[in-house]
Structure 1
Amino acid sequence: MDAAMDVLATLTPYLQTLSHYLAIATKHANPPNNVLGLILFVAYIAAAIYATTAISLSLWRGYTRISLPQTATGKDDHKRIQDVQRARKRHIKIYAFLASVSFASLTYHMGLFLVESYAAWVAGKIGVKTVSVEDAWKTADLQRVKGWVLESALFEGFARELVGDGPSAVWSMGAVVGGWFWGVWMVQKVNARGFSTKEMLPYILLTQTLPISLTITLFIIKLHLASPDLSNNPPSPPPPSSKPLSRKPTSLTLPTILLNISLLSLPSLRNTPYFLPLVLVIRIVLLSPWSRRVSLKDDQVVQSIAISGGFVMAQVFLLRKVSPGGVGELVRGVWNGGEAVRAMGVDALVGVAVHLVLGWGGGV
């Protein structure tokens, strides 16, 4: 007993210090002084801008290189390279167009989300139910904007809007699950092509800050630019990993089940303290295929797709139980929801378009 008391006495100052800093963090993580939330939201935007810019510049440099005349050993070889270049550039332009649509949609809906958030804050300040966006921005100044960003939970508000009602939750779940399997496909391609982790960091960062359609279109452009048939040299096999796995990789089905259970639980936890931690757990799970500790065998991918399909159907079934509108309301939900839901809905549609174009051909 004396030993336990001694240990407790030793730990007490540290526990008091930890409690002090937790109190400070809590004070600055909630309105009306939500500094940490503001930092997180701004960090997301800054990371997305950085990753998009870095990837775009890298792809542009690669595109200008394949646009230059290639050295060939003979007339037939030169013609082959020119034909390949024309085909690759045609596909690259298609994916660049889809990337532009995705980026424009995300920018538009995110901008509207911020504008509507400010208008709602102004309405609350003056004690009315709603204020038009035009009237709200007529009164905007530096002091008001500062008050808005500190008294609002922008990051959490965006996440809550995604599961604000049944149709929104279904669309959001479908978009996130689709992003999950696009991420798995990306990692498979990275492993096959032997891209380095450093080379892929901007793409990984972009998958964590924006919906998947922009990242996947830019990544497919990278695959086209890195295609071995753009040169006369035979493709070299990917370099072997310098860090062998110390244990057997985890089956892909396990993080898939965890992801789907988390997504299915989000709507019911929307107004609880567990909501935001669960959102962060989902972000971590989405990173797991990049860890090399998850098996990405084709049979496990097929199993995971089937499992995810079952969970999505369960979400649709729950919607039908609580909503008389049924499928019609689900279809309209992406347009009737908030700007966050519309952004995810457009992302899902662009992802489908990318899948169709990818199936059309291109050799990636």
Structure 2
Amino acid sequence: MTLDESFRELGLSPGSSDADVKVAWRRLAAHWHPDRNASPHALRKIQRINRAVEEIRQWRASGYADLQRTPEAPAGAPEVVVDQQVSITLEEACAGCSRDLHGEVVEDCAECRGSGREARSSMCTRCDGEGRARSHFWFPWLAAGGPCDTCAGRGVVHAACSACSGQGRTRPRKYRCRIDVPAGTRHGETLHVHARVQGRQREHALHLRVSVELQQHDVFRMEADGTVQCAMPVDGFAWMAERWTEVPSPRGLQQMRLRRNALTYRIKGHGLGGADCIVTIEPLFPAELGAEQQLLIDRLIAGNTGARGTAARKRMDAWQAQLAGRIRRQAPP
């Protein structure tokens, strides 16, 4: 069960608070608890409700922050541009889909402003605030004095910032965002998402540039105009008999009637962006007819041109009469 499915199970939107989740759980549990509800589906329903609450609880505990989507670049602080990539199938590109994006926000420490040091300084104990290294020779005038390597010659030192342990940056704040990939999106297109996310110390404006990658397909081949091509084998006898068959399209299997005079079929609107899906069939026949197949062919012939009163028999009799008449006219007197 995904996070969005968990919220839907509770009748809530993904941005609902912990208090909303608790209220929804109490309401649904009171209705679906097997001790109060005689429905045979009550046990399964309460299990799904509890699972949904647990999924949301684990999500909250993971430290992820929800993005606040905005229709355009928010005013105020400059946006941070984040490049991401999503990979989708041809079926998802035709119908549209959703994807979850994950990332991190890292901030400079507000206490030390990114320096990693405390603002207040103290005297360097190694050089006693002189800024020069002490000599370890018996005769100090023989040693060339240099800057103290502890305080870099300043005579004062700054302790590591206690708020960030001297790192100068806060711990990363992970975020999650679900984006919609519109139907008809093509390979290489870039989707733009503007949002705000609450970091550990302040709010950030994000600009997500999402590059779409269309996966290679093992059944369909897409043309530049969005038309989808598909080649499939069919039974030759089923093709001759104009039987119904199932053919694939990016929008699922479709029922199609075979025609003896056609090898190519067009399914309108089942390609990418409203284009068509074109299916080319290959009728398959045996290299040689077996004895049983020969008998079946004989029965078909007997029931077609061999049966009196059929249209095929009448057409055959007319043709044979026409041929016999020509032979008599050409015979010598």
Higher strand share: 2
- For the pair shown, the structure with the greater C-alpha radius of gyration is 2
> Is TM > 0.5 for Structure 1 vs Structure 2?
no
Q: Output the TM-score relative to the length of structure 2.
A: 0.22
Higher relative contact order (CA 8 A, sep 6+): 1
Higher helix share: 1
